[in-house]
Structure 1
Amino acid sequence: MKTPKMTTWLIYALGGGWGHFTRSLSLGRIASRYHHVKILTNSPYATYLRDESCDVQIIAPDAGFAATCEQVRDVLLNTRYDCLIVDTFPRGLGGELADILPQLKHIPRILIHRDISPVYIHRFALRSFVTENFDAIIVPGEGEDSPLADLPIVRYTSPWLIRNAEELPDRMKARSLLGLNCAHPCEGNSRLHKQNPPARLREKIILVCAAGQASELSFFGKLSTHLEAAFPDAALRVLAPVCPEGCPPQFWVSHSPGIECLPAADVVVGGAGYNTVHECAAVGVPLVAFAFKRLYDRQKVRALRCAYCVEEIEDAIATVAMLQNQVSNRPADYPNGAVEAVRLIEKQFT
């Protein structure tokens, strides 16, 4: 197989949560095997979730609208790169790309089209804008029913994930990441152990993924106390960059990337953001999801399609109770759409 020509890719990944930056890293770490990848982000989690294979340039999350737009303009117009990849927002998070993209017609420009509100698309006449300013649109696992889906430059991949299937730890290793492995000498790989696993290995594991916006962490802290009271015989862990307010400290775990913890979980409770939903689906762990309101992201649409959507903590507890008695079918493998996306982008240079 012919090795692709080394090029420099710049990924625009501005947004206030995990999604844009994580999705861009998922692509960038695959592309960096053959290309130099730069990621421009203002995510408050950029220092928490890093990958040395990509050159990450951080705009301070609190820089303000005007300062952020000016820094974006400076990078895009004064940095050398061979390809621009824009995640989710064709005109930029604040519309700052509207007059920049026409100046970049000498290089391929690719839009990553995650599912977004049709209201946003119609409000800014994005069908014509995208057609005029992008050479390709890649849909990373969702958005087939969006108003842009019928454009001839659209290509589809599976969801982009920050770990391939073969990179994930097994269940025992994932348990250790959550601080749940037992140290008793009888808990080795003996035949007796496999037939009669210790109680601590048989207990159900409920994993709360406290992703999303920082302002939502306190909700997950409250949720954890309710889950602890409702399931005293289960092992509860709360995965978050910092311990959420109200969360008992003994339940808090900080590990990145979070997908590496999922093989240990019997059920996950979290939001319905892009990464949480698609990572749980790939690993085969059921997700009880709260669809948080977003300006552009349709979390409820995603949750209804791929998870158990709930609105109240009481509903979440009832759904977790139901799922505890089910045996989930864990796939041995799953496709990572980021691999196919790299190939599609490389075709823009041929």
Structure 2
Amino acid sequence: MTNTWLIYALGGGWGHLNRALSLGRIAAKERKVRIITNSPYALQINNEGCTVHWIPDKAGVSATCQQVREIILKTRYDRLIIDTFPRGLGGELADILPQLQPIPRILIHRDINPEYVTAKNLQYFVAEHYDTVIVPGDGEDLPLANLPNVRHTAPWLIRNAGELPDKISVRSHILKVDPDIKTILVCAAGKASELSLFTQLTLHLQQNFPECAVRILAANCPADIPDALWISHHPGMECLAAADVVVGGGGYNTVYECAALGVPLVAFAFERLYDRQAKRAKKAYTVNNIEEAIITVRKLLDHNLSVPSYINGATNAVHLI
């Protein structure tokens, strides 16, 4: 059997793919790592030494499930790692897992909606089909955290503290702002449907804080945003580290990256089918609308940033797997 890990990281946005890359880039130093994703951003990233199997996000549920089936059943690997969805995003793993040869199967248990856990009887399914469950920093009160094979790590981050580029360099060359000016970064890493809100927010921030530099970090330049305000850079964590205040959603990467970096996050808790952003966003400054966001940003601009020093749970997770 080849020394290869296969990571299942389906799901829209950056989150699942970024978490897979956080783990995979460390593991890839000693083995091959293959990642299955349908993230629309998969073609705009540094693959961090991993091989990325991209299933187009517009492929449809049936075609996506079929491609997943072919990859998992035909690829040679000795570890199967599933991010977030034990049965697969479309339920396809429920049929695939019983067909696999006996190799270690690891579930990455990020917080998910308890109603989904109950509806699909995931307690039994995970106990039956997974050897190890790793919780990457989302706490003890998770729906499956009572299983006997659960292991906890710190949050997984795509850069260790010592790997972050110099803050002044990022401001000058990536954000293209004066290093001495307070910088507000809007992190538009969620669904495409939320880009309009982030666009309006960016324009309002620029209007309300003329003494600051305002930038929006997004995969593609939003309509109505001047090119000078738009940043496209992966990993986004390097940009967050250079900001004085970040405004974004309550997703896994945005919340834990800002927490690790010591950068205050003003967070909108968006509705998700499986993820509970409102629960995670309690670690940040939660707001409900643009007006609240502007008021909160104003209060936070006097915040003095410290030099980042944190533990990257992805390193521990590689040893656990």
Structure 2 length-normalised TM: 0.97
Report how many residues are paired: 321
For 1:99 and 1:135, locate their aligned partners in 2 and report how far apart those are by CA, in whole Å: 17
2:156 match: 160
> Counterpart amino acid of 1:242?
N
Name the structure 2 match of 1:192.
none
Q: Distance in 1 between matches of 2:255 and 2:173?
A: 21
Instruction: State the Cα distance separating 1:204 from its structure 2 match.
Output: 1.0
User: For residue 231 of structure 1, what is the amino acid of its counterpart?
Assistant: F
Q: CA RMSD in A?
A: 1.4
2:313 corresponds, among 325, 337, 349, to: 337
Query: Which one of the candidate residues 308, 312, 315 is aligned to 2:292?
Result: 315
Task: Tell me how far 1:326 sits from its aligned partner.
Answer: 2.6
**1:300 aligned onto 2:278:** yes
Does structure 2 retain, via aligned residues, the 8 Å contact 1:170–1:263? no
Deviating runs (4+, > 6 A) in structure 1?
none
Distance apart, 1:105 and its partner CA: 4.8
Q: Identify if the C-alpha distance between structure 1 residues 6 and 168 changes in structure 2 by more than 3 Å, giving closer, same or farther.
A: farther
1:44 & 1:127 partners in 2: Cα distance? 31
| Contiguous gaps of at least 5 residues in structure 1 | 182-199, 346-350
Partners of 1:136 and 1:153 within 8 A in 2:
yes
TM superposition score normalised by structure 1: 0.89
Partner Cα separation in structure 2 for residue 311 and residue 245 of structure 1? 23
Which protein has the larger Cα radius of gyration, Structure 1 or Structure 2?
1
What residue is the counterpart of 1:54 in the other structure?
50
Separation of aligned partners in 1, 2:105 and 2:44 = 28
Structure 2: segments with no counterpart, 5+ residues: none
Q: Output aligned runs, 1:195-214, within 5 Å.
A: 200-214=178-192
Q: What pairs up with 1:234-245 in 2 under 5 angstroms?
A: 234-245=212-223
Deviation of 1:179 after TM superposition, in Å, equals: 3.8
d(CA) in 2 for partners of 1:179, 1:11: 32
Matches of 2:228 and 2:85 in 1, distance apart?
39
**Aligned-pair distance for 1:79?**
1.2
Give 1:14's aligned amino acid. L
Following the alignment from structure 1 to structure 2, what is the Cα–Cα distance between the partners of residues 201 and 220? 24
The answer to whether the 8 Å contact 2:21/2:48 transfers is no
Report the AA paired with residue 32 of structure 1: A
In structure 2, distance between residues paired with 1:52 and 1:155? 25
Aligned partner of 1:75 in structure 2 is: 71
Partner of 2:201: 223
| 1:91-147 deviations in Å (ceiling 9; x for gaps) | 000000001111225100000000111111111000000000000000001042012
Assess if the C-alpha contact under 8 Å between 1:178 and 1:237 holds in 2: no
Report what 2:166 is aligned to: 170
Alignment partners' CA distance in 2, 1:177 and 1:114: 34
Give the 5 Å matches for 1:65-214.
Answer: 65-180=61-176, 200-214=178-192
Q: What is the aligned partner in structure 2 of residue 188 from structure 1? A: none
